[in-house]
Amino acid sequence: MQLNHLNLCVDNLSEATDFFQTFFNFQLIEQKGDAIAVMSDSNHFTLVLSNPRAFGGETPTYPNEFHIGFYVETVAEVDQMFDRLAATKIHMDHGPRKIRNGYTLYFKALGGILFEVSCFNL
């Protein structure tokens, strides 16, 4: 069994689609106004971004420990992500560091959602 899609609620659909395209190489497949955007990556994972306000709801508050993680092959890729994020002024409390058995960068984006970019090939 494999996880093949996820619906992530966001406040700003345009900002979120740009973010996932720019930093994680997702491709926009389909968008329905300011309500839903369907994206896919090179591994055929489908990311559905939705704006609950478009349906009369409210964007949920994610728990502090909730995060979205991406694994990369090399430490250099983690460092490159840090540099790219820093160049766009995305706030990060600190740079990448060794955590448990990996080299990891944590940062918040898209209204406070926590992201992780990790390499376990040390």
Query: Could you tell me if 71 and 115 lie in one domain?
Result: yes
Query: Could you tell me if 31 and 51 lie in one domain?
Result: yes
Query: Could you tell me if 46 and 75 lie in one domain?
Result: no
Q: Is 86 helix (H, G, I), strand (E, B) or coil?
A: helix
Reading the chain (122 residues) residue by residue, the pLDDT tens digits are 889 999 999 999 999 999 999 999 999 999 999 999 999 999 999 999 999 999 899 888 899 889 999 999 999 999 999 999 999 988 899 999 999 899 999 999 999 999 999 999 87
Task: Give the residue numbers spanning the domain of 95.
Answer: 67-119
| Helices and strands counted in the chain (H then E) | 2, 8
Q: How many domains does the chain have?
A: 2
Side-chain half-sphere CA neighbours of 20 within 13 A:
27
